[in-house]
Structure 1
Amino acid sequence: MAPGRTSRLLLLSGVVLVVAVVLVGLGVLPQLWGDDRAEVRIVGDDGATKATVDAEVADTPRERYVGLSDHDSLEPGEGMLFVHATEGERTYVMRDMDFDIDIIFVGADGEITTIHHARAPGPSEDGEDLRYTGQAKWVLEVPAGTVEEAEIEVGDEIRIDDG
């Protein structure tokens, strides 16, 4: 193969790779590697684990938008971990939700910043007006009552094991 042709093929391959990575990040293409689950441990000041959550990971714009709205329920010990690139003020809504949840906002340092007990929308609500805000890089949604039962508090930390 001629040297000029080899260079063009390498350049084209690089461009295709970059475009694919961007499309996966935007949620246009599915991620073809890794598991979309993570074990999240919530740890108190004394270092003891208060709760362990088997979390589905929502790390693309599309997954974060849909969230748990396509789930009928969550079993104890299950949840969804929303991953953002940076810490910032995040607002979550209960769009099309069928069940109550606890929403745990976590800063970039892994410390819980805010906790909300979120109710499912009523018969005449779509959930867009049920808004919950906190400072977070990660947001963990768990079944309603988990926070109270495990005595989870602002200031506790999360530890994520994504395999």
Structure 2
Amino acid sequence: MSLLTVCACLASSGCASEPWVELHDQRFTVEVANDDAARAQGLMFRHDMAPGHGMLFIHEQEEPQAYWMKNTRIPLDILYFDDERRLVSAQLGVPACSLGNACPPYPSEGPARYVLELNAGVARDLGVKPGDELLFGPGLGPDTPTRVTE
């Protein structure tokens, strides 16, 4: 990290506190959704998501998951991970949906506990495949406070 980056981090006082995950040696700053309200809100009504960012959904237990794009305006890659944070399945290039409750579900192909949403195309560019490991930054886990911003 350069001196300029360190100074910018110190000035913003936010560098160390931003939760992050790594996939294929690529780090993503994530918003965490680990309660029912935050998971239901997800990325609804957002017009964009910055490159290198994503949303990590943490569920209480590993089980089949199905996500939908209700009121989501950003095309996404939806990645499903099991208890060991291994990729179970991926739904790539999922289109935005403005059909409300008529938006289709995008299910996992197996039980999952963690779901990572990234901008559409990122997972393809990384070459993700089943079994890939999702690494968590310090303090990131099931008990991480919910940090959803609008």
TM-score, normalised with respect to structure 2: 0.74
**Cα RMSD over matched residues?**
1.5
Please give the per-residue CA displacement for 1:132-161, whole angstroms capped at 9, x wherever unaligned: 111210000000010111111111100111
Aligned residues: 120
Once the two structures are TM-superposed, the CA of residue 73 in structure 1 deviates from its matched residue by 1.0
Instruction: Structure 1 unaligned segments of length 5 or more: list them.
Output: 1-34, 44-48
1:74-153 pair list within 5 angstroms? 74-117=49-92, 118-121=94-97, 125-126=99-100, 128-134=102-108, 135-153=111-129
Identity of aligned residues (%): 26
SS in 2 for 1:121: coil
* Partner in structure 1 of residue 146 of structure 2: none
SS in 1 for 2:29: strand
Q: Does the CA contact (< 8 Å) of 1:57 and 1:82 recur in 2?
A: yes
Query: What is the CA–CA distance in structure 2 between the aligned matches of 1:146 and 1:100, rounded to whole Å?
Result: 11
Once the two structures are TM-superposed, the CA of residue 84 in structure 1 deviates from its matched residue by 0.7
Query: What is the CA–CA distance in structure 1 between the aligned matches of 2:87 and 2:106, rounded to whole Å?
Result: 15
Query: What is the CA–CA distance in structure 1 between the aligned matches of 2:65 and 2:82, rounded to whole Å?
Result: 11
Greater helix content: 1
Please give the per-residue CA displacement for 1:74-126, whole angstroms capped at 9, x wherever unaligned: 1211000000111001111101011200000000011000000211115xx22
Query: What is the CA–CA distance in structure 1 between the aligned matches of 2:76 and 2:35, rounded to whole Å?
Result: 21
Letter in 1 for 2:113: K
* Partner in structure 1 of residue 19 of structure 2: 38
Letter in 2 for 1:38: P
Instruction: Structure 2 unaligned segments of length 5 or more: list them.
Output: 1-16, 140-150
* Partner in structure 2 of residue 72 of structure 1: 47
Letter in 2 for 1:133: P
Query: What is the CA–CA distance in structure 1 between the aligned matches of 2:71 and 2:132, rounded to whole Å?
Result: 30
